[in-house]
């Protein structure tokens, strides 16, 4: 198992290591491997060394230490970093240098984390691949012929390779969960509006905000304990994002009973590849053998197709409101070629019409799906589901004027959008907290599964997932990473 962020912080706090030594280990890994996978696109060695020396000075001075003192972190290039290039892989922002940090960056720095650099993403975090028009593709650290997923593909690849120990993520349609699953790391998508979006691109700097639903924030890290710390650091109002309520971090007492885990594997007509199906079956069996109550259940009234439709309508409307009118109309015209079997994409194109009645209908559909899911989770600690139909697939550049390639699942072919995000968008729609955990390696590739919890009960979900992580065992490490020192 690799070190976790908290392992590093504990070594520094005990005096067994220093922040500068821990940073140099990560920089050595970046020098050795980043050329192969292109996860870190802006490196700040000078700033990182200065921050690491300051962390060591703080430790030497004594007194209470912040929870992530000296821990190397990377930051998805969608988050503003003061004095350091922030592009969101958007060519007009190629030379944009913000004056202030995004809230999540400021909070991680205040918690002692040392910023090493920025990680790659697709343009404006818009696709579940990781192909940047500025920096090119990030490649999967397990197999460089494959995608790491997106949009937080650079983040997941960096954490998987030990370039850093934590990277904040954003997720509107699986952007934390898919890369975590494809790269074999842990990921948290917190409850919608639990973590402020201040300083995240999109929206463009100085632009108006149009997306009011679906988008959540969180982190990618080696272990659940790191995600628990990240939530405690990142959550809560910042005085700028007015939709973030004051919900204090809750202490969770483990229940004096076995864990109750519902699971499900049917999302419309989306198939599961053999690797994913095998990992899911093994996970269910392992949890049952450990004494957990595990049953195949679906919330009464939960309709995946309705969820896809509502998600597409809301996403199309809110994203469309933030687009230039000409670009939106052009995309809507091109969308006439999107067939109804492409359920999510078809609904998204319909949403671009900015029909208020349709938008209101979608929000009411969202309410029904949320009630159904919350109803199930009153009796179960979490709902276990696949993240995607398949493990990481071929890398490819996605452009709006060309239909993306189908996703191949064993002998079946799926429309790209549905195959990539059809199993994650229902929980973007409901705004539920979700944790992704690695569930082993099948034929050389990691498989991740998602664990869904009740809204605003992120702490309880993370506590449940910490127990599940202990049952499932150590997370997998990409073979190429094992050629680097300091893996245990």
- The pLDDT of 440-452, averaged and rounded, is 97
Q: Look-up: residue for tokens 């002692």?
A: 112
The model's pLDDT over 248-302, given as tens digits with 9 standing for 90+, comes to 999 998 888 999 999 999 999 999 999 999 999 999 999 999 999 999 999 999 9
What is the predicted pLDDT for the residue at 15?
A: 97
> Mind listing the pLDDT tens digit for each residue in 23-63?
999 999 999 999 999 999 999 999 999 999 999 999 999 99
**Other CB atoms closer than 10 Å to residue 293's CB: what's the count?**
14
Secondary structure (3-state) at 55: helix
Q: Which residue has the higher pLDDT, 184 or 395?
A: 184
Instruction: Taking residues 170-190, report their average pLDDT.
Output: 98
pLDDT at 324: 86
Residue 172 in contact with residue 211, Cβ under 8 Å?
Answer: yes
Helices (H) and strands (E) in the chain, counts: 15, 15
Q: What is the pLDDT of residue 402?
A: 63
Residue 398 has pLDDT above 80, yes or no: no
- Which residue is it, tokens 């905000």? 209
Confidence of residue 323 (pLDDT cuts 50, 70, 90): confident
- Cβ contacts of residue 177 below 8 Å, gap of 6+? 171, 187, 189, 387, 424, 434, 436, 448, 450
Residue 488 confidence (pLDDT) above 70: no
Per-residue pLDDT, averaged over 153-165, amounts to: 98
Q: Is the pLDDT of residue 165 over 50?
A: yes
- pLDDT given for residue 405 in this prediction: 82
- The stretches of 133-175 forming alpha helices (DSSP H) are 153-160
Structure tokens at 112: 């002692």
| pTM exceeds 0.75 | yes
The chain-wide mean pLDDT, for the chain, equals 95
Residues with a known catalytic role: 76, 151, 175
CA of 4: how far to CAs of 137, 221, 225, 229, 421, in Å? 26, 7, 8, 11, 28
* Distance of alpha carbon 459 from alpha carbon 470, whole angstroms: 17
Q: Match 């200065």 to its residue by tokens.
A: 50
Return the structure tokens found at 193: 């509006």
Residue pLDDT, tens place only, 348-369: 999 999 999 999 999 999 999 9
pLDDT for 483 beyond 90: no
CA separation for the pair 230, 71 (Å, rounded): 12
The DSSP secondary structure of 284-353, one letter per residue, reads HHHHHHTT-EEEE---TT--HHHHHHHHHHHHHHHHHHTS-HHHHHHHHHHGGG--TTSHHHHHHHHHTT
Q: How many CB atoms lie within 10 A of CB 451?
A: 22
243 token code pair? 């939709």
Distance CA 196, CA 124 (A): 18
Residues composing the chain: 488
Strand 136-137 and strand 131-132: the pairing is antiparallel
């Amino acid at each position: 198992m690799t070190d976790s962020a908290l392992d590093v912080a504990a070594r520094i706090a005990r005096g067994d290591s220093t922040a500068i030594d821990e940073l140099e280990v990560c920089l050595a890994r970046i020098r050795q491997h980043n050329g192969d996978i292109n996860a870190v696109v802006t490196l700040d060695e000078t700033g990182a060394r200065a921050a690491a020396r300051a962390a060591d000075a703080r430790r030497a001075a004594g007194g209470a230490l912040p929870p992530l003192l000296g821990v190397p972190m990377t930051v998805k290039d969608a988050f503003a970093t003061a004095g350091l290039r922030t592009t969101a892989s958007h060519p007009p922002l190629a030379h944009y240098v913000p004056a202030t940090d995004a809230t999540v960056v400021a909070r991680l720095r205040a918690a002692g984390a040392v910023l090493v650099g920025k990680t790659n993403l697709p343009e404006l975090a818009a696709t579940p691949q990781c192909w940047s028009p500025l920096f090119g593709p990030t490649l999967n650290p397990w197999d460089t012929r494959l995608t790491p997923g997106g949009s937080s593909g650079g983040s997941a690849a960096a954490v998987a390779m030990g370039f850093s120990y934590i990277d904040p993520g954003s997720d509107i349609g699986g952007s934390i969960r898919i890369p975590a699953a494809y790269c074999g790391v842990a990921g948290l998508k917190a409850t919608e509006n639990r973590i402020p979006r201040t300083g995240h691109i999109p929206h463009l700097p100085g632009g108006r905000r149009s997306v009011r639903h679906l988008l959540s924030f969180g982190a990618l890290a080696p272990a659940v304990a790191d995600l628990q710390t990240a939530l405690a650091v990142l959550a809560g109002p910042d005085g700028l994002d007015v939709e973030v309520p004051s919900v204090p971090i809750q202490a969770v007492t483990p229940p004096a009973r076995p864990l109750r885990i519902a699971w499900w594997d049917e999302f419309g007509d989306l198939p599961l590849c053999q690797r994913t199906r095998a990992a899911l079956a093994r996970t269910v069996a392992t949890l049952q053998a450990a004494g957990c109550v595990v049953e195949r259940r679906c919330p009464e009234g939960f309709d995946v197709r309705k969820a896809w439709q509502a998600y597409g309508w809301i996403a199309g409307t809110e994203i469309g409101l933030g687009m230039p009118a000409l670009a939106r109309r052009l995309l809507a015209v091109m969308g006439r070629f999107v067939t109804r079997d492409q359920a999510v994409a078809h609904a998204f194109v319909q949403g671009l019409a900015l029909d208020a009645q349709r938008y209101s209908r979608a929000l009411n559909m969202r309410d029904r799906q949320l009630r159904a899911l919350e109803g199930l989770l009153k009796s179960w600690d979490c709902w276990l589901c696949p993240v995607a139909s398949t493990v990481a697939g071929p890398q490819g550049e996605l452009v709006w004027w060309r239909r993306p390639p189908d996703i191949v699942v064993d002998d079946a072919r799926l429309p790209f959008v549905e195959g990539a995000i059809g199993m994650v968008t229902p929980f973007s729609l409901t705004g539920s907290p979700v944790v992704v955990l690695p569930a082993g390696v099948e034929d050389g590739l990691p498989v991740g599964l998602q664990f869904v919890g009740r809204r605003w009960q992120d702490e309880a979900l993370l506590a449940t997932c910490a127990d599940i992580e202990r049952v499932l065992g150590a997370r997998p490490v990409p073979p190429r990473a094992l050629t680097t020192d300091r893996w245990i």
